[in-house]
């Protein structure tokens, strides 16, 4: 089944417990990551990771071991409760084992949650989930957040908004990506406390433009400029950028490079790149190659798991170490 519009928000908020799973795909890795995070929490609850009811795999792992996804679906957990198998960043070349596992799914197996990039209508992965009687496919596009998404984000923070403040929040939703929007609402909630939010609070908590600095530190890692990463991370840390945001943005960048490496080259990246950004991506693609890019994505997935776990390691130090490791990989032969 293919879900769109209001049906997506309804499914993500209260998915059918008997669902076989869902494919969530789109060019915006941040938007995809937030939606799959919401879906996994709705299906398995907030303690699924600690109770070992959530299995995380990468597309590369599925390709290297064709039975690993199916085995995870069939496994019996130590703790009672619903189970989820999450396979991140699956490309068309890695789709075969995932599709086979979905076809062998039966009631009682874990739910299968898969994420991917900008998949075409001809995608085998899309067709498998769209055609499955118990699974869904959700395409996410770079449209502004819908009314239901905004309402859900406001309700999650328990915000009380004056009419003028609500207009300011709607303006933020139209200009920020969903991840930055949620972070901004969280800051507004902390600032306002139990009082009604004023337009002054919205203006004060609105983020400065950090995209350039974020892009720069990820480019430094992809180019192999390890020495530049430390000063850039200090700047981003001072701006209040979250470590999870950085790992999602870095994953999106390396997923695009990997898609270009195994697909139609830089011209296949969506949204398309122009000018200096295209030149940089072509240079990085020549420097990395498909195999090293798969290793980079594995490293980023491990980092994402660490950041979202109960580890007490300083989160910005964790992502800085990962970016430095990427820079060293870029220069390795």
Written as one string, the DSSP assignment of 217-268 is HHHHHHHT-GGGHHHHHHHHHHTT--HHHHHHHHHHHHHHHHHHHHTT-GGG
> Which tokens is 41 given?
């929490």
Q: Mean pLDDT score of the chain, rounded to an integer?
A: 87
Same domain, 219 and 199: no
Cβ partners under 8 Å of residue 80, min gap 6: none
In the block, tokens 């490791």 appear at: 325
Give the pLDDT of residue 274.
54
- What DSSP designation does 209 have? P
Same domain, 57 and 102: yes
Q: How many CB atoms lie within 10 A of CB 74?
A: 16
Same domain, 54 and 178: no
Percent of the chain with pLDDT over 90: 47
**Calpha distance 265→258 (Å, rounded):** 9
Same domain, 135 and 6: yes
Same domain, 201 and 219: no
Angle between helices 29-44 and 243-262 (to 10 degrees): 110
Per-residue CA distances from 14 to 17, 34, 46, 199, 263 (Å): 9, 16, 14, 32, 36
Confidence band, pLDDT 50/70/90 cuts, at residue 6: confident
Least Cα distance to 34 among 125, 120, 152 occurs for 152
Domain-ending residue, one of 111, 140, 169: 140
Domain-ending residue, one of 140, 159, 192: 140
Same domain, 238 and 195: no
Give the pLDDT of residue 210.
47
Query: By the 8 A CB rule, do 246 and 27 touch?
Result: no
CATH number of domain containing 224 = 1.20.272.10
Same domain, 186 and 108: no
**Calpha distance 41→100 (Å, rounded):** 25
- What DSSP designation does 158 have? T
Q: Up-side HSE of residue 332: CA atoms within 13 Å toward CB?
A: 13
Give the pLDDT of residue 9.
82
Same domain, 37 and 111: yes
Give the pLDDT of residue 212.
62
Condensed to tens digits (0 to 9), the pLDDT of residues 72-116 reads: 999 987 888 899 999 999 999 999 999 999 999 999 999 999 999
Same domain, 175 and 87: no
Same domain, 197 and 319: no
Domain-ending residue, one of 94, 116, 140: 140
Domain total in the chain: 3
Q: Is 161 strand, coil or helix?
A: strand
**Calpha distance 278→138 (Å, rounded):** 29
Cα dihedral 250, 230, 299, 313, rounded to 10, equals -110
Which range (119-128, 144-153, 193-202) has the least confidence?
144-153
User: Which residues on adjacent β-strands are paired with residue 111?
Assistant: 84
**Calpha distance 252→204 (Å, rounded):** 29
CATH number of domain containing 18 = 3.40.50.300
Buried b or exposed e, range 29-44, using 16+ CB within 10 angstroms: bbbbbbbbebbbeebb
Q: Which of 142-151, 198-207, 294-303 has the highest mean pLDDT?
A: 294-303
- What DSSP designation does 196 have? P
Same domain, 98 and 123: yes
Same domain, 130 and 8: yes
pTM over 0.85: no
Domain of 78? 2-140
175 or 159, greater pLDDT: 159
């Amino acid at each position: 089944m293919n879900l769109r519009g209001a049906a997506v928000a309804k499914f993500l908020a209260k998915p059918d417990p008997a669902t076989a799973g869902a494919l969530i795909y789109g060019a915006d890795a941040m938007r995809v990551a937030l939606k799959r995070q919401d879906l996994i929490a709705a299906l398995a609850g907030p303690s699924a990771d600690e109770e070992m009811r959530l299995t995380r795999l990468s597309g590369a792992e599925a390709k290297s071991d064709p039975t690993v996804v199916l085995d995870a679906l069939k496994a019996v957990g130590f703790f009672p409760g619903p189970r989820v198998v999450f396979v991140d960043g699956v490309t068309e070349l890695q789709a075969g084992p995932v599709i086979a596992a979905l076809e062998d799914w039966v009631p009682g197996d874990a739910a299968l949650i898969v994420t991917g990039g900008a998949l075409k209508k001809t995608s085998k992965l899309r067709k498998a989930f769209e055609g499955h009687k118990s699974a869904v496919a959700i395409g996410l596009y770079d449209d502004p957040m819908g009314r239901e998404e905004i309402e859900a984000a406001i309700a999650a923070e328990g915000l009380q908004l004056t009419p003028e403040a609500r207009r300011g929040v709607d303006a933020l939703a139209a200009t920020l990506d969903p991840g930055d929007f949620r972070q901004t609402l969280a800051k507004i909630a902390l600032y306002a406390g139990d009082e009604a939010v004023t337009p002054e609070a919205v203006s004060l908590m609105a983020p400065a433009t950090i995209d350039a600095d974020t892009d720069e530190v990820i480019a430094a890692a992809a180019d192999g400029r390890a020495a530049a990463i430390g000063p850039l991370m200090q700047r981003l840390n001072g701006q209040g950028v979250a470590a999870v945001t950085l790992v999602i943005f870095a994953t999106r960048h390396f997923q695009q490079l990997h898609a270009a490496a195994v697909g139609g080259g830089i011209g296949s990246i969506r949204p398309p790149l122009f000018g200096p950004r295209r030149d940089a991506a072509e240079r990085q693609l020549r420097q990395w190659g498909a195999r090293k890019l798969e290793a980079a994505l594995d490293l980023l997935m491990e980092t994402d798991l660490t950041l979202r776990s109960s580890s007490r390691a300083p989160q910005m130090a964790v992502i800085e170490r990962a970016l430095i490791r990427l820079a060293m990989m870029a220069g390795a032969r």
